[in-house]
Amino acid sequence: MVVGVVQTAARIPLARPVLDEEMSEAAIHALQNERFVGGESVHKFEEEFARYCGTKFAVSTASGTAALKLSLIAVGVRGGQVLTTPASFVASANSIIHAGATPKFADISIVDYNIDPAEVRKAIGKDTKAILPVHLFGYPAKVDQIREIVSDRGTAIIEDACQAHGASYKGKKVGSLGDVGCFSFFPSKNMTVGGDGGMVVTDKESIAQSVISLRDCGRAKGSKYLHDLVGYTERLNTVQAAIGRVQLKHLDAWNGKRKQVAYKYTELLSDMKELITPPEGNTLVNPVYHMYVVRCEQRDNLKAWLDQAGVETGIHYPAPIHLQPIYKKMYGYIGGEFPNSETLSKGALSIPMHPSLTTDEVKFVSETIHEFYGHMSKQ
């Protein structure tokens, strides 16, 4: 049945963060029984997150941006260049500037929307201190191919896994594929801490130790008021770590539900010539569908149509990073430099994706999209 726009009542949100009783109780318990900063929950959350990712260390931070910035400082990018993708949230590149380096871009593959290793090979130079691939929309980037390119150069790989908690590539969790992995717990992510938060994961003790110090005012190990780095106050609060511990327990189940939603959308939408559904996983690539992004004709009209039908959508992102006003101003980009990223920005539409979406809601969204193109073809 095709449901008409006017008949709709229910509003279907783009994302729906979970806060249940267990999380509230964990938060209150932490507030009443632990130090507000640096409490036991922080250490436990870090241990559990490291175990989950399969890395030796996890260091929590105040945000995903802080995780990226502190990791970049820890691997020593200051004064050099860092290569990243223009198709990401602006924080991926901002963190490079915050760390005292210059962001350089390499275009994405138009198939999986992640940085294209062939473009990395072309763009890498003697000043490239690190590569920062982003696992965009929860789909793992080809970090092994990037590793091959940098293997004899000593260039660090810092994964921006802010949208990909739990995704894996060739049997390894994202975050553990490069030298460092960075996560965000902003409320729209696959798991949150009930506010801003981030995590750095790594097998390298020296990097973990630097981030521990940098997030905590540059304190020397074991000292209260001796500082051997110029650090920041970018720690994760105890109450948020306590919420994060509960969320982490649910992450795999939630990701499983996201996958079911994604499969259903793809089943219902893949017959449409006006629209390209997201890349699918396979035996080697296990995506976690942070977002379900279609590329479509008449994107803005479709967005308005869905909006009227009570379906919330998003555009991730209306401009690639190099065409953000501040990047144009600072680096002189004018458009046309990274055509695949620009194509993605022009056609991308994120439709509702979260673990609590029902099959009926998925069908309703899909039918509303069909109805739009049916309507347009009669115009």
Ligand X SMILES: Cc1ncc(COP(=O)(O)O)c(C=O)c1O
Q: Which one of the spans 46-54, 86-94, 148-156, 339-347 is the region binding ligand X (CB under 6 A)?
A: 86-94
Going residue by residue from 17 to 56, which x/- string records binding to ligand X, judged by CB under 6 A? ----------------------------------------
Which is closer to ligand X, CB of 354 or CB of 370? 354
Which is closer to ligand X, CB of 55 or CB of 63? 63
Q: Strands across the sheet with 102-105, in order?
A: 57-61, 198-202, 180-184, 156-160, 128-132, 81-84, 102-105
91 binds ligand X (CB under 6 A): yes
**Is 201 within 8 Å of 183 (Cβ atoms)?**
yes
**What residues have CB less than 8 Å from 301, skipping those under 6 apart?**
372, 376
Nearest residue to 331 (alpha-carbon basis) of 116, 106, 102, 122: 102
Name which position in 55, 81, 88, 255 contacts ligand X (CB under 6 A).
88
- What's the CA angle centered on 193, arms 188 and 194, to 5 degrees? 70
Q: Which one of the spans 1-9, 74-82, 89-97, 173-181 is the region binding ligand X (CB under 6 A)?
A: 89-97
Name which position in 55, 71, 92, 176 contacts ligand X (CB under 6 A).
92
**Is 188 within 8 Å of 15 (Cβ atoms)?**
yes
Distances in Å between the alpha carbon of 291 and those of 4, 10, 236, 301, 321?
25, 21, 25, 20, 19
Which is closer to ligand X, CB of 287 or CB of 302? 287
**What residues have CB less than 8 Å from 4, skipping those under 6 apart?**
371
Which is closer to ligand X, CB of 66 or CB of 275? 66
Helix axis angle, 238-269 to 40-53, nearest 10°:
30
Instruction: Give how many residues touch ligand X by CB under 6 A.
Output: 15
106 binds ligand X (CB under 6 A): no
**Is 117 within 8 Å of 150 (Cβ atoms)?**
no
**The dihedral of CA 242, 218, 76, 65: what is its sign?**
positive
Q: How far is the CB of 298 from ligand X (least distance, A)?
A: 26
Name which position in 112, 119, 179, 196 contacts ligand X (CB under 6 A).
196
Q: How far is the CB of 135 from ligand X (least distance, A)?
A: 8
Which amino acid, 240? Q
Nearest residue to 245 (alpha-carbon basis) of 35, 14, 39, 54: 39
Going residue by residue from 299 to 338, which x/- string records binding to ligand X, judged by CB under 6 A? ----------------------------------------
Name which position in 45, 105, 137, 186 contacts ligand X (CB under 6 A).
186
63 binds ligand X (CB under 6 A): yes
Residues that bind ligand X (CB under 6 A): 63-65, 88-89, 91-92, 134, 160, 162-163, 184, 186, 196, 198
